[in-house]
């Protein structure tokens, strides 16, 4: 089974997929040996490791491709790579995707640097999955991303906050809180399953308002 197929199967599974960030051969092997099913190559980690600078757009296509190629050869688990903005226009998207695929990556993330990400979903037109990277702080953020058409979200800082507070238990607690908040938000929006989340809930209010009396002067904000 190819890394792409394996990663797709993991994403489709009902359980949360935790992909620790990797940035060099040692961290890639460490993630695999500690039992994680997949890893995520962080562009910021590569930039800070290879160039000594934060992720401010200094890494180009060739340097990124060379780095992720080496990382993919270091381990046997699927790795998702950060391809920045694909380094150009729609033509670059095609060639960047092909190059990363041939390098052995299970998938790649491409940013459009705008919010919401609806434009990206419309542009790919179902030909590939869209993941939202960053900005996830609550379960409602996950709900909005899924409603906009994202297939999954990538969570960064909240996991590190949990790790700093209580180690592995703190990370698990953060993931559980996000999951609980997502399920509560889904229930309040009348969406019992992930598959039932669509753009129809954006700009709407909870169906509970139809059975609850709204106090005078109360303003209900939509998602």
CA distances, 156 to each of 10, 19, 37, 62 (Å) = 19, 10, 17, 26
Q: Give me the pLDDT at residue 83, please.
A: 85
- In this prediction the pTM is 0.55
Q: Which DSSP letter does residue 211 get?
A: T
pLDDT, one tens digit per residue, over 161-176 is: 888 888 889 989 999 9
Q: Give me the pLDDT at residue 116, please.
A: 43
Q: Give me the pLDDT at residue 213, please.
A: 56
Q: At what angle do helices 43-50 and 61-74 cross, to 10 degrees?
A: 100
Contacts of 136 (CB under 8 A, 6+ apart): 142, 145, 153, 154, 155, 156, 158, 178
Contacts of 24 (CB under 8 A, 6+ apart): 45, 49, 71
Q: In the chain, what are the domains?
A: 3-210 (3.20.20.60)
Q: Give me the pLDDT at residue 195, please.
A: 87
Residues of the chain scoring pLDDT < 70: 56, 112-120, 123-124, 134, 203-223
C-beta of residue 143 within 8 angstroms of C-beta of residue 186: yes
């Amino acid at each position: 089974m190819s890394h792409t197929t394996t990663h797709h199967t993991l994403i489709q599974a009902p359980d949360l997929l935790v992909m620790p960030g990797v940035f060099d051969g040692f961290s890639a092997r460490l993630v695999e040996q500690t039992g994680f099913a997949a890893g995520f190559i962080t562009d910021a980690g590569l930039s800070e490791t290879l160039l000594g600078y934060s992720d401010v757009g200094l890494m180009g296509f060739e340097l990124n491709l060379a780095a992720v190629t080496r990382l993919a050869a270091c381990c046997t688990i699927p790795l998702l790579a950060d391809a920045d903005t694909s380094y150009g226009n729609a033509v670059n998207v095609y060639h960047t995707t092909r190059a990363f695929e041939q390098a052995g990556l299970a998938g790649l993330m491409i940013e459009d640097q705008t919010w919401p990400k609806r434009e990206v979903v419309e542009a790919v037109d179902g030909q590939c999955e869209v993941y939202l990277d960053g900005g996830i702080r609550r379960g409602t953020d996950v709900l909005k991303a899924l409603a906009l058409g994202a297939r999954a979200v990538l969570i960064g800082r909240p996991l590190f906050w949990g790790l700093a507070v209580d180690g592995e238990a703190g990370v698990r607690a953060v993931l559980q809180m996000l999951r609980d908040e997502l399920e509560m938000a889904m229930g309040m929006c009348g969406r019992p399953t992930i598959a039932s989340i669509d753009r129809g809930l954006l700009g709407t209010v909870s169906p509970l308002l139809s059975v609850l009396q709204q106090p005078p002067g109360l303003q209900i904000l939509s998602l």
